[in-house]
Amino acid sequence: MKNNIIILGGGQAGIYAAREIRQNDTKSNIKILGEENLLPYERPPLSKDFLLDKKKEEDLYFHSSDVLKNENIEFENISINKVDFENKKLFAKNDNVYSYDSLLISTGSENKKLTLDNNLKNDIYYLRNLEEAKKIKEIVSNKNKITIIGGGFIGLEIASSLSQLQKKVIVIEIGNQLMGRIIPKQIADLVQNTHIEYGNEIILNKQIEKITKKNGDYEILLNDNSLIETDFIIAGIGSTPTVKLFENTNLKLDNGIVTNQFCETSIKDVYAAGDVSNFYHPFYERNMRLESYQHAQNHGICAGKNIAGVKTEYTSIPWMWSDQFNLNLQLTGICDEYDEIIERGNDINNGVIYFFLKNNKIRGACGVGIIGKVGRDIRITSKLTEKDTIVDKQILSDQNIKLNKLIQK
C-alpha cells in the first residue's frame, strides 16, 4: 500500500529512518521536512575538525542529493508551526499543509541558554548547527582569550580545538568535575589534566554572577567575587528536547516524547527517534533519553523499520565518544547503576577503563586514552553487556590479557 510518510526533522535520525523505510518499502512517499536549508549532515566534526579547518562543509553531509534522488526521498526546507494529530496534518508557516499516514518526529534537541539579566543575549555564542560553527570559526580568528561556560562534552571539545588554534581558553564549570552528567569522576579528572597540560584553565565549582561588557570585551564575575576578563564567550550548558510544537497537543511528553521500545509514541502512527525521544530500553528496563551519534543513527534505523511494518525492538547498548586533544573518550552502557567498579590500566597512553558492574555483570564502562587505545575494549564491553553474563573480573582488570578472550567462542 502506498502511504505518505513524513519525517519531521532533517538530522541524523531523520535521514537514517528515511533510508531504512525505503529499504523495506519501495512504494510509499517519503518526505523529510528540515528547518535548516541543508541536507542532513554530521554534527560531531563541528566542534572539532570543522573549527580546525580539517573538514569543510562539503565533507559533513551524510549523503549527496543524488543518493536521496535515487532512493526517491524528498527533502524540503520548511518550518512547521502547528500539528493536528487527529486529522494527521502538519501546517507550515507559509500556509503549506502536509498530510501524513505515518509521522516520524526527529526534531532533535536545542541548546539551553544562559539567563542573563542584562542585554547580552547576542554576545554569547552557542554551537549546535553549521551556521553557528561558521560564525564561531570566523569570529575567534580575531580573538585571543576565550571563555567557555560549561565543562561538558561540547564545551571541552571546543576548548580543545581553540587551544590547538593557539587561543588562551578558560572553562568555567558549575559542578565539582567536568562532564559530570554522565562521565565518572576518575575519567573526568584524567581529561582535565590533559586540558591543563595543554594550557587551558579549568575552573570548577563556580557560578556566573554577572557578565559585563567593557570596551568590546567582557568581565565575568564569579560567585567567589573573582573576575575573568575575556574577549569572547561560548556557552555549552546542556540541551533540551525540541518539543515546543507538541506542548498543547495530546502527545505524551516527559523529558522529550515518550516512546516504547518500537519508537511508537502515545499517538497511533506517530513515531519519535533520536535526541527528542525518551524511549523505553528493554535491556535496562527503564526509559532514557540519549544525545549521541550512534543513538541518532540506530534509533532512526529502528524507527524506519517499524514505520515500514518490520516490528523491531530498540535494544542498542548506548555508546558515545568525545575527542579532545589527542584523547579519545568512550562510554558504553549505563555507568550510574552499579555495586562494583573495576579499573583496567592506569596510564592514559595505554588507555584507562572503568567497568561498572551490578551483580557481577557489566552495566557499562567508560574509558579514555590516546586515540585508538580504548575503542576495542569498549566495543567488546558493549558486547559483554548485551550478553548479560557474569564476567571474569581478573581478565577485566589485567591489561596484559586481551578482552577478546571474553567474547571468543
Partner 1 sequence: MSEENWIEVGSTDSIEEEDLIRFDHQDKTFCVYKLTDGFYATDGICTHEAVHLEDGLVMDDEIECPMHQGIFNIKSGEALSPPACEDLKTYPVKVDNDKIFIKID
Q: Are 209 and 223 in contact (CB under 8 A)?
A: yes
Dig out the grid coordinates for 103 from the structure: 509521522
Q: Cα–Cα distance between 271 and 269 in angstroms, integer?
A: 6
- Please pick, from the candidates 56, 113, 376, 387, the single residue that binds partner 1 as defined by CB under 8 A: 376
- Judged by CB under 8 A, which stretch of 29-37, 76-84, 206-214, 320-328 contacts partner 1? 320-328
Contact flags string 59-98 toward partner 1, x per CB under 8 A: ---x------------------------------------
Q: Does 267 bind partner 1 (CB under 8 A)?
A: no
Question: Is residue 404 involved in binding partner 1 (CB under 8 A)?
Answer: yes
Give the whole-angstrom CA distance, residue 136 versus residue 134: 6
CB-count burial class (<10 Å; 0-12, 13-18, 19+) for 259: buried
Using the rule CB under 8 A, is 319 a contact of partner 1? yes
129, 230, 265, 297: residue in contact with partner 1 (rule CB under 8 A): 297
Confirm or reject binding of residue 373 to partner 1 (CB under 8 A): yes
Which contacts (CB < 8 Å, 24+ apart) does range 174-180 have? 174/150, 174/205, 174/206, 174/207, 175/151, 175/204, 175/205, 176/204, 176/205, 177/204, 178/151, 178/152, 178/202, 178/204, 179/151, 179/152, 179/153, 179/322, 180/151
Residue 179 makes contact with partner 1 by CB under 8 A: no
Quote the least distance from Cβ 376 to partner 1, whole Å: 5
> Which of residues 90, 380, 384, 406 is near partner 1 by CB under 8 A?
380
Alpha helices in 141-217 (DSSP H): 153-164, 185-197
Which residue, 107 or 322, has its beta carbon nearer to partner 1?
Answer: 322
- The interface region with partner 1, picked from 92-100, 102-110, 352-360, 365-373 by CB under 8 A, is 365-373
Q: Applying CB under 8 A, does 374 fall inside the site for partner 1?
A: yes
328 binds partner 1 (CB under 8 A): yes
Q: Any bridge partners for residue 330, and if so which? A: 321, 367
Cβ nearer to partner 1, comparing 135 with 405: 405
Q: Which is nearer to partner 1, 59 or 224 (CB)?
A: 59
Pair type for strands 270-272 and 102-105:
parallel
Min. distance of Cβ 321 from partner 1 in angstroms?
Answer: 7
Q: Which C-beta is closer to partner 1: that of 52 or that of 222?
A: 52
CB of 406 to partner 1, least distance (A): 12
DSSP 317: P
Determine the Cα–Cα distance for residues 199 and 329; give it in Å rounded to an integer.
Answer: 20
Candidates 115-123, 289-297, 308-316, 340-348; binding stretch for partner 1 (CB under 8 A)? 289-297
Q: Report if residue 321 touches partner 1, rule: CB under 8 A.
A: yes
Binding flag, residue 20, partner 1 (CB under 8 A): no
Cα distance between residue 401 and residue 106, in whole Å = 42
Sign of CA dihedral 163, 168, 174, 175: positive
Classify residue 370 by burial, with Cβ atoms within 10 Å: 0-12, 13-18, 19+.
middle
Distance of CA 287 to the CA centre of its chain: 17
At its nearest, how many Å lie between partner 1 and the CB of residue 383? 8
- Mask 24-63, x = binds partner 1 (CB under 8 A)? ------------------x------x------------x-
How many angstroms separate the Cα of 275 from the Cα of each of 49, 218, 280, 293, 354? 23, 33, 13, 10, 26
Shortest separation between residue 62's beta carbon and partner 1, angstroms: 8
- Give bridge partners of residue 332 from the DSSP assignment: 319, 365
Positions touching partner 1 (CB under 8 A) are 16, 42, 49, 62, 293-294, 297, 319, 321, 323, 328, 371-376, 379-380, 404, 407-408
